[in-house]
Amino acid sequence: MKNINDAPFLKELKDTTANMYRLGYDERNGGNISRMLDEDEVAEYLDLNNVIRTIPTGFSAPELAGRIFIVTGTGKYFKNVKDDPETNLGIIRITPDGCTAELLWGFKDGGRFTSELPAHLMSHIARLSVDPSNRIIMHCHPDYTLAMTRVHEMDERAVTRTLWKMMTESIVVFPEGVGILPWMVCGTNAIGEATAEKMKKYRIVLWTLHGIYGCGKDMDEAFGLIETVEKAAKQYILTAGLPQVNTITDENLRDLAARFELDYRRDFLDL
Candidates 44, 116, 153, 221; catalytic one:
116
Cβ pair 77, 29 in contact under 8 A: yes
Write the CB contacts of 261 (distance below 8 Å, at least 6 apart in sequence). Answer: none
* 227 flagged as catalytic: no
Residue 114 CA to its chain's centroid (Å)? 13
**Phi, psi of 236, deg, nearest 5:** -65, -50
E strand residue ranges, the chain: 32-37, 53-56, 68-72, 89-94, 100-106, 136-140, 179-181, 204-207, 211-216
- Full DSSP string of 3-24: -GGG-HHHHHHHHHHHHHHHTT
Tell me whether residue 29 is exposed, middle or buried, using C-beta atoms within 10 angstroms of its C-beta: 0 to 12, 13 to 18, 19 or more: middle
List the catalytic residues.
Answer: 116
